[in-house]
Structure 1
């Protein structure tokens, strides 16, 4: 466990695997979670988007994203909830990156690997050319 300043209020607290804020802020977050969950449990609200949930309940979008990301608000039950991709900010429902960013990074890595192979071949041909002169 680490001794940290609460990112919300600045008070010192002991960070653990469950809480990433101080006890006071944790209690406030839990009260907000109850309010959000009660709102979403109603059939007519299950398809609400993050913006609407935040507007009605007063819960900050950042906090809603945290709950979705951690699985406290299940996207299977609330299909329009999600959180931003770590790279581009597009709303996603699982993982850290959206499909486009994942594909883009894979493509960039493939290009990097091909360039590394090309440089190795170039280095080998230069090495052999230098070796023959001796």
Structure 2
């Protein structure tokens, strides 16, 4: 069963079922805009267009282009200059939520944290040795 939500585009109430994030009217408008963008990109000379060029030529909002790339409706394999912003630094990426450099930095930090954690565990688990002198 769906829940009642406000459409983020127009503010109208709609029954949110988890499939679309906008109301039916806005979804139809987005579909029309998608067709305009797709027709623009299908032309051979426009396949390498940047996000800014597509926005300029079609009038579609940049956020919609990012949304379509995230949902794989516009695939970067076919249109190499498309992407969406990294959640950390804002640089364009095609895969995941983080760009390659932010992902590498995060992995390095996690490895460093793991190494420190392993060292602490090793120190804490070491047997404390005591030296006892026999009384003779």
CA RMSD of aligned residues (A): 1.8
Output the TM-score relative to the length of structure 1.
0.85
Which residue does 2:114 correspond to in 1?
Answer: 113
- Specify the alignment match of 2:23 in structure 1: 22
SS class of match (1:13): strand
Secondary structure of 2:5's match? strand
Give the count of matched residue pairs. Answer: 128
Q: Could you state the TM-score of these two structures normalised by the residue count of structure 2? A: 0.84
**Bigger Rg, structure 1 or 2:** 2
Please identify which structure carries the higher helix content: 1
1:38 correspondence with 2:19: no
SS at match of 2:25: helix
The match for 1:84 is 85
Q: Which runs of 5+ in 1 are unaligned?
A: 130-134
Aligned counterpart, 2:68? 67
2:132 matched residue in structure 1? none
Q: Secondary structure at the match of 1:32?
A: helix
Per the alignment, in what secondary structure is the counterpart of residue 102 of structure 1? helix
Q: Which runs of 4+ in 1 moved over 4 A?
A: none
Deviation at 1:128, TM superposition (A): 4.8
